[in-house]
Every structure is written in structure tokens, then in C-alpha cells.
């Protein structure tokens, strides 16, 4: 794919749209009818969108291209870490606030913040060299 065809926000928008579409199809066809309570449907969306938020930047930024030199197992492990972190963070946040009487929109936003922060934190923890500040002194 040609990175220059769209700006970063364009690739991010397309990726987030496709991730949300896939997550909602998974919720609609599999999870909500069988095991997932309706209140937790946003956990799936957040977990599937989190790799898009992180990896579009890694793919698009020239200074982060060295990440792709890692082994495939390492990259897959990072993706699984990100997805698990987003699912765990958003589920814990929802469990803590679900009975507070907040609107479902506010619950989803708070769960999204917690899930994305934990996902990015786990990615940073596994790849601290990508975000190290380089100083020449």
C-alpha cells in the first residue's frame, strides 16, 4: 500500500471504520446472542480498534520503520498484548462504572480511554526504544 496516497488521518479513519464494522459484526452474530451482555459490547469494539490506533502510526512514521525488523512472532505477540490490554482495561472500567447511572455514551468513552491507555502502555512497555527521546550531548 502506498502511504502517500492518503494522509495519516485518512488511513486511521479507514482502519477504525473497518475495525468497528468487524467488531460490530462479531458482536451481532456471535458474542451478544451467546455470551456477552449487551452492556459490554463496546469492549469488543475497543479491543479490535486498539491495534489500528497504534499500528497506523508505527506503519506511517518513517522513524518507526525499524519496528518491522522484529520477528513475526514478536509483532504478533505485541498485537495480542495490545488487544488483551484494551479488552482488560475497558472491561475493568465498565465493571467499575456500569452501575453508577451514567449514560451509555459516557460509559463507552470512559471504557475507551481506559482500554486504549492500557493497550498503548503495554505496547510502550514492550517497545520502549521506539519512544525514547534521542539527545545528543
pLDDT in tens, the chain (137 residues): 778 888 989 999 999 999 999 999 998 898 878 888 888 889 999 999 999 999 999 999 888 999 999 999 999 999 999 999 999 999 999 999 999 989 999 999 999 999 999 999 999 999 988 877 655 44
Which parts of the chain fold into alpha helices (H)? 8-26, 32-34, 41-60, 72-97, 104-126
Cell (9 digits) for 74 = 514478536
> Are 128 and 58 within 8 A, CB to CB?
no
124 touches 50 (CB < 8 A): no
CA 46 to chain centre: 6
pTM: 0.87
CA distance 88 to 114: 9
Cell digits of residue 115? 482500554
Amino acid at each position: 500500500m502506498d502511504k502517500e496516497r492518503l494522509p495519516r488521518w485518512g488511513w486511521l479513519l479507514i482502519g477504525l471504520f473497518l475495525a468497528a464494522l468487524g467488531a460490530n459484526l462479531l458482536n451481532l452474530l456471535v458474542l451478544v446472542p451467546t455470551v456477552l451482555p449487551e452492556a459490554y459490547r463496546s469492549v469488543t469494539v475497543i479491543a479490535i480498534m486498539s491495534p489500528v490506533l497504534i499500528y497506523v502510526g508505527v506503519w506511517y512514521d518513517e522513524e518507526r520503520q525499524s519496528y518491522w525488523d522484529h520477528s513475526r512472532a514478536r509483532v504478533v505477540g505485541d498485537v495480542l498484548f495490545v488487544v488483551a490490554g484494551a479488552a482488560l482495561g475497558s472491561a475493568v472500567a465498565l465493571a467499575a462504572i456500569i452501575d453508577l447511572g451514567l449514560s451509555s455514551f459516557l460509559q463507552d468513552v470512559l471504557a475507551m480511554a481506559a482500554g486504549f491507555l492500557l493497550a498503548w502502555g503495554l505496547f510502550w512497555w514492550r517497545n520502549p526504544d521506539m519512544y525514547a527521546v534521542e539527545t545528543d550531548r
